[in-house]
Each structure stands twice: as structure tokens, then as C-alpha cells.
Amino acid sequence: MCKAGRHFFVCCLLARHSAIRSANVLCSSRPYLMGPRDWFARVDTSVLFSKMHPMLERVVRATINSVSRRHFPSILVNSRLPSNVEEELVALAMEQVEETFPEMWDKIVDLLCDSERGLDNDGMIVSVFTQNKELLNLFFLSLGEKEFRFIERCGAALGFVCGLIQLMAFNHLDATGRMILLPGTGFFLGIFTNWLAIQMCFKPCFPRPINVCGKHIYTIQGLFLKRQRDVAVLYSKMLVDHFFDFDKVVEYLQTLPVWADLHDAYCQNTNKMMRKTMGPVTGWIARRVALGPEKFKALEDDLVGASAERIAESDDLHEAAAQYISVATDVFRSNASAMQRMPPDEFENLLHPVFQEDEP
């Protein structure tokens, strides 16, 4: 069976085992994998802030200047705040960001880890798989590449041996016997060879030593289960590559109710931070501009909206945060290690259910 043939074979399997069921098969390792709270507990907020500091400062500076141009055009010099005022505002804002960052991070973690509205690993995986059958095919083809190849070769070898037996029997039968032999044995031998190959991939589940005269000769175990250490590494790498990266997680979060909660938490934190920042320079603004409650509220809303927009567009900020979180959480190595410790009978569920309808 060539790679295209194996790809077609998996497509046929998925046609019978709906994508949701097949995706849930791949989620069967979930109790052994890290969850969101496990990831975020490893993040040091002071280190994360230091990694993001240069990008956050650029966001703060650009936000202050753009909002100032809209709200205080009469007091700007060459469309900018006086340099000493700008530096003071930026410094004060960064101090407040740093001071409130741990509290903000804790709020985000609590929201993301909410059991009802937060980040759901399995839900994200199933959602992506059901929308992208090609990716689901890739997972099964990659995880079971050696097993597919073994089934192909085992079926060919057994078919050849059975064909020789059919040939010898064929020469000793009359016309009626020959008419029954070929289709009958073809049907049953086809089922048997397929079943035997699949059994050799997954049975026995646990290692079973073969001893002769008290001397260990060989340990038999299902071929897929023998590869548990290697498959665990591959599976974890594929999860990290296709799911647990910053952009994909954010894209998935935007489909959940928690996204609105995250936005509200950000706005509340920014408003709180802005009021503390504005305090020391209120006199400076008051001497030049008389702000009523409505104008001050408009200023608040504009600062929150402009900063949120710039943070969303700051790819270098996202990259810095994602790189640190990736290193700090070490999802790939932690998940691979956890899956290598899975009991073989549970590890078997990663691939075996795909074949179960092919077993008599």
C-alpha cells in the first residue's frame, strides 16, 4: 500500500468513524496531559513582563500620542506631546502596567481555567479536526505509519501463502468444488488476514515474556504498543505544532464565551491603571484643558480601545510572550513524558479504535 493508498484507507475509516469520534480517540490521552492551569502555573510573571517590556512600552507610547492628538490637539507641539510630558506619562504607565500585571495574569488564568467557560483542550482539538479532515488523516497516518505498513506487508505475505494453499487444493477438486473454493476461501481468508494483522499490532497489550527452560528468549507485545515511547514523542510534537501555539489558541478562544470575559477584564484593568497614571499629571492637563465627565469618559474609552487594538496588532509582542510561555511551560516535553508513562491498555486507545470495526 503506497502512501496515497494509506491516505485513502484512513479517509475510508473516517467516513465510518465520524470525525468527532475519531478526534475523541486522539483526546483519550487527556488525563495524562498537562492542562491550562498546569501550563500557566509554570509562568513567572516578572520574567514574562521583562520579555514583553520593550514591546509594551512602544504600545503605550503610540497609544498616548494617538489619543493625545485626538483629544488635546491645541496643546501639542508638532503633533506630539512635549517630550518631558510624554516620557513622564510613559514611565508612569509602565510602572502601573508592571504593578498590575501579576493581578491581571491571575485573572486571565482563572478565566481560562474555568471548567465551564474556559479553555478546553479536547474541545479545541475536536473543533479543529472536524473542520479539517486532512489534519485528522495526517495524525492517524503519522501515528500509525509503521502499523499501516505492517498490515500491508502482513496481508500480502499471508495472501501469498494462502494462495499457494488454494492452488494445491484447486488441483484436487472437481468443477463444483472449485466454484465454491475460490470465492469462499477468498472471503474468509481476507477477513482472517486483516484480523490477524490488526491483532499483531495491538495484542498482547502488556509485555509478555517468552521463556524456554527458565531462560528469557523474547518479549512479545503489540507492535504499536512497543513503540509507545516514540509515538508519545511524535504525538506530543504534533499537538504542539498544530494546536498549542499562541495564534491557534487565541483563534479558538475567540469562539468561546470566555473571550468576552477576557476583554472585560482587560478593560477594567486598563481603566484602573489609567486612573492611577493620570493622577500625577491631572494638574498639568487641568491647566490647559477643562475636561468634563463626558470628555474624560471618552478619553478613558479611547485609551482602552487604542491600547487593545495596538496590542492585538503587535506581532512582536505576541511572539515574545509565546516564546517565553512555550519555554516556561515546556508542553512538548512534559506531555511526551506523561504519555510515555501511560498504561499500555490506555495508550492503545490512541489508534486501535480506528480499526475496531474491521475486526470480526
pLDDT tier, 284 (very low <50, low <70, confident <90, very high otherwise): very low
What is the pTM assigned to this prediction?
Answer: 0.66
Q: Exposed/middle/buried for 74, CB within 10 Å: 0-12, 13-18, 19+?
A: exposed
pLDDT at 98: 87
User: What are the cell numbers at 74?
Assistant: 491645541
pLDDT at 283: 42
pLDDT at 51: 92
pLDDT at 44: 92
Pairing of strands 208-212, 215-220: antiparallel
First-last CA distance in the chain: 22
pLDDT at 24: 61
Contact (CB, 8 A) for 202 and 348:
yes
Contact (CB, 8 A) for 360 and 20:
no
Average pLDDT value for the chain: 76
